[in-house]
Amino acid sequence: MIRREQSRNFFISVFIIAVAFLSGDVKAQAQETELISDYELTLDEALKIAVANSPQVKRALLSVDDADELVKIAYSEIYPEISSSINYTRNFEIPVNFVPGEFFGGAPGTLVPVAFGTDNNWQGGFTASQTLFRGETIVGLSSATVFKTVQKENLRAASQQVITQTRIAYYSVLAALEQFRLQETQIKRLEQNLKENEARQRAGLVDEYAVLSLRVQLSNQRPQLIEAEYAVDEAYRMLKITMGLPLKLEFEVLGNLNEFDILESNSENDANQHIYSVDQMNPYTFQKDGLDSAGLEETRGDLRILDASLALNEREITATKSRFLPSLTATYNLQWTAAEPDEPTFFENSARFQTLGINLSLPLFQGFKRVADVQRVQIARKDLQEQKRATMLMAQNEVASASEDLNRAFETAEARKVALQQANEGYTRAQKRLENGLGSQLELTDAEVQVRQAEVNYALMVYEYLTAKAEYDLATGKVPYVDTEIEE
């Protein structure tokens, strides 16, 4: 309940800060940044925020909305089209036509001007047309629905990409923080050793060279600490960009790579439990031999997009072939007409008429355009099939590569853990030997280097495992929060 309330406060804070940045309210920025500066962001919260803020996902949602409108446009082709019009003409001078004079008893060969028309003329009415049969219209209805399916698959694929990128960015922050922590620990060890050796030097137990050697090591380590600090800042910026958050927004990620055991499915450390929960949404089983890539066509986003595109192409082929068929339309007209002399009285003398027409159109020859159009859409289908074949090979390779990375992590995890324990034990013994006058500063330095290397190797192994697991989930098309949910 407390976590839920904290999450709600965080989302509210994010919204207020975004408004503050847009409005230029510096005071509000400072207040809200201070409000959440100590907030610890979990992985599942980061994923939800990333999906909510991602421009890529929002654009995919707009494409789905646009597809809905295209479906409406497609259905409008089968509805009748009704239009109305009205026209008024005022003749200031009645139009005159010349007719042969003999019509009115005149001499042959003469022309007599005769005025035809009235001062005022009105005409108006309604026209309705209905397509009774048109091949492209019928096929277009199903094509619009399939096109919407393509856009939905694009949305799913975009969500998968954003979640995977956020997971990797989150793990990168943890790796950078671990590197920074190790550098701090290394400097603290050196500072403590330097302090103790300076005391031994004053007591005459060690010479000046041992103290100088520690000072050189400490001087070499301080720049690495500064570099590690900048690496943390850069990792946080990349995470904020991936999540679509302002770069000035401050928060801390929750997790500790050196306390993460990839051989376990749960953590005794609450700081890592949220990482385990996301990681176990799509459990991975160690499999040294054989790779089961079945089902990728049903789960992979890019393959599902290509399947939907092939279905859309089939309807495009049918629609193109339907251009060889006749089209049948019906037209109905209801019109009123009126004519009056002198001042208008608006339809006092009017007449009405109605017409119904049926039009059958059969294109006999339009060059070779229609044949070429059919060939082009069939070529496009073959191209999509080749794309799908290449994508399937790439998908199998991505699954295999991610599986190999996961297997490598599983196979080396125990050895890395044992090496870390042994390095810590060796450092403790070297320190005691030096304190008792049985060892040397060189032994302690070597032991310290081994501890640092073991810690770096273990953290790097965990980072590589988590990154490979995110890539494996994407490669198999089973991405958390898109295709799987946390089991309560």
pLDDT digits 0-9 by tens, 246-272: 888 888 898 888 888 888 777 666 788
Residues above pLDDT 70, as percent of the chain? 85
Tokens found for residue 418: 């044992």
- Residue in this structure with the two tokens 């991505």, named with its chain if needed: 398
By residue count, the chain amounts to: 488
Helix and strand element counts for the chain (H, E): 11, 8
> How many CA atoms are closer than 13 Å to the CA of 122, on its beta-carbon side?
19
Q: Which residue has the tokens 């060796």?
A: 426
Q: Percent of the chain, pLDDT > 90?
A: 11
Could you read off the pLDDT of 88-107 as tens digits, one per residue? 888 888 888 888 877 777 77
pLDDT in tens, 210-250: 778 778 877 877 888 888 889 999 999 999 999 888 888 88
Alpha helices by DSSP H, listed for 295-368, are 296-299, 301-321
Q: What mean pLDDT do residues 29-51 have?
A: 68
Residues 274, 7: Cα–Cα separation, whole Å: 14
Cα–Cα distance between 162 and 437 in angstroms, integer?
58
Residue 44, helix vs strand vs coil: helix
**Mean pLDDT for the stretch of residues 357-379:** 84
Q: What is the torsion angle, in degrees rounded to the nearest 10, for the CA atoms of residue 437, residue 442, residue 444 and residue 450?
A: -160
Beta pairing, strands 96-100 & 111-115: antiparallel
The number of CA neighbours under 13 Å toward the Cβ of 349 is 10
- E strand residue ranges, 250-306: 252-253
Computed over every residue of the chain, the mean pLDDT equals 79
Of 257, 275, 282, 305, whose CA–CA distance to 461 is shortest?
A: 257
- pLDDT, position 98: 82
For the chain, give every domain's residue range.
Answer: 1-38, 43-77+134-246+256-326+362-476
> What pTM value is reported for the model?
0.70
Q: How far apart are the C-alpha atoms of 392 and 104, rounded to whole Å?
A: 90
Per the structure block, which two tokens stand in for 69? 């409108």
What kind of fold does domain 43-77+134-246+256-326+362-476 have according to CATH? Outer membrane efflux proteins (OEP) (1.20.1600)
**Count of other CB atoms within 10 angstroms of residue 60:** 21
